Amino acid sequence: MSLRGVYVAWSALLGTSFALTFTASCTSTEDDAGDSENEGGGAGAESAGRDAGRNEGGDGPGPGDGGTNGESGQGTALSGAGGVTSGGSSGSGASAGLGFGGSLIIPTPGAACEEGFSACIGRAASLLLTCRGGALVLTHCERDERCDSARAECVAVIPECLQVRAGGSFCADEVTRSVCGPDLVDTREETCDGRCEAGRCVALTCGDGTVQDDEECDDANDLDTDDCAACVSNVCGDRIIDREPPVVEECDDGRATAKCTEVCTRTRCGDQRVSALAGEQCEPNNSYEGVLLDSVECDADCTLPICGDAHQNAATGEWCDDGELNGQYGHCRSDCTDLGPHCGDSRVTDGESCDFGVENSDEGYNSCRTDCTGIAHFCGDGTIDTKFGETCDDGNLNNLDGCSNGCRYLFVPEPP
């Protein structure tokens, strides 16, 4: 029988629709099938598809030449299984002769069809044409779906493919490139030899952020002061100062030196690391408000407490320590337990003229000088000390020469 169908043209750009009318032959009789073999099953459809293509978009893609044995024309706008046939028995694929130029041509919903027919309306489209109960039904896929041409059904779209479109690619992970199919519902995966970047496979290099077999690390920068330098882990001893937390180096001399420890911290007394290279002999374990204190085992300057080191360590019982001068007059005893012989100890020793101890004074009368070299301000020193009551001082203690041994005149001299 003959079917006069109305085809609707959907503008791909404007979203408008209008109708075109043409006649297609649908038959399943053996006579018609024979005619189709002899004449070429796609002949009638070819003309209609070509006309529709010209009317809607000029010389756009239309059906191909009719083939023998009822083959449908090539270049159809639809794809699917079963379908409306023209000039022959039921075949696979879309209706022969459905062409499109600037617009998309689809059969009118409700037109007669054969059960099992289904087709997507274009590539990456949201329209599905199916045959239900002998009539064509147009279905809109859900918002997040597209029509899969291979299966002729609505399938969830791959979100990334919406960004790159059909044939575009994106990175599924660091080494996998995904190429989007024509309907945006499937991908073809490719494993990169290097890494995947912005949908492209690129070669691996130091600084690309991907650790290769011959790299210890790769932090995607060229800084030498962080945890990764030239794709080698920055460690203490590599002569590169790592200033990035969590392990921040204060120095890195490649080995322990007088200024840098074996753990890449600055050498300092009190760090509980004895640095012989820095002259340390020990580490003090006492401190008060951040100030190091002497201990029995160690001086506050990280040297061993020894009498004669010119450092008084009270924790060891030292009273004094004058270093090399210990045991000499006026200095600490050789055992550092007290001061040795000195002026003011009330003992006349080592060339002292006198020593009155705490009464030594340079201003007192008949007192020992503070340097123990003699008596200060005494009668007979040749100096009249009127503040001490002297009226004369002839430098001697002769009591018969007019000036007594108390430095007072024995008679009042006549005025001249």
pLDDT at 266: 94
**Residue segments in the chain with a per-residue pLDDT below the cut of 70:** 1-107, 411-416
pLDDT at 214: 80
pLDDT at 401: 82
Looking at the structure, tell me whether residues 59 and 100 fall in a common domain. yes
Looking at the structure, tell me whether residues 147 and 167 fall in a common domain. no
- Within a domain: 145: yes
Which H, E and C letters describe the chain, residue by residue? CEEEEEEEEEECCCCCEEEEEEEEECCCCHHHHHHHHHHCCCHHHHHHHHHHHHHHHCCCCCCCCCCCCCCCCCCCCEEEECCCCCCCCCCCCCCCCCCCCCEEEEECCCCECCCCCEEEECCCCCEEEEEECCEEEEEECCCCEEEECCCCEEEECCHHHHHHCCCCEEECCCCEEEEECCCCCCEEEEECCCEEECCEEECCCCCCCCCCCCCCCCCCCCCCCCCEECCEECCCCCCCCCCCCCCCCCCCCCCCCCCECCCCCECCCCCCCCCHHHCCCCCCCEEECCEEECCCCCCCCCCCCCCCCCCCCHHHCCCCCCHHHCCCCCCECCCCCCECCCCCCCCCCCCCCCCCHHHCCCCCCCEECCCCCCEECCCCCCCCCHHHCCCCCCCCCCCCCCECCCCCECCCCCCC
pLDDT at 77: 36
- Within a domain: 114: yes
- Within a domain: 245: no
pLDDT at 381: 87
Looking at the structure, tell me whether residues 144 and 190 fall in a common domain. no
Looking at the structure, tell me whether residues 195 and 129 fall in a common domain. no
- Domain tally, the chain: 3
pLDDT at 385: 87
Q: Which domain holds residue 402?
A: 378-416
pLDDT at 203: 78
- Within a domain: 16: yes
pLDDT at 247: 84
Looking at the structure, tell me whether residues 10 and 148 fall in a common domain. yes
Looking at the structure, tell me whether residues 90 and 150 fall in a common domain. yes
pLDDT at 413: 56
Looking at the structure, tell me whether residues 80 and 109 fall in a common domain. yes
- Within a domain: 272: no
- Within a domain: 302: no
Looking at the structure, tell me whether residues 173 and 111 fall in a common domain. no
- Within a domain: 299: no
Could you tell me the pTM of the whole model?
A: 0.38
Looking at the structure, tell me whether residues 140 and 12 fall in a common domain. yes
- Within a domain: 261: no
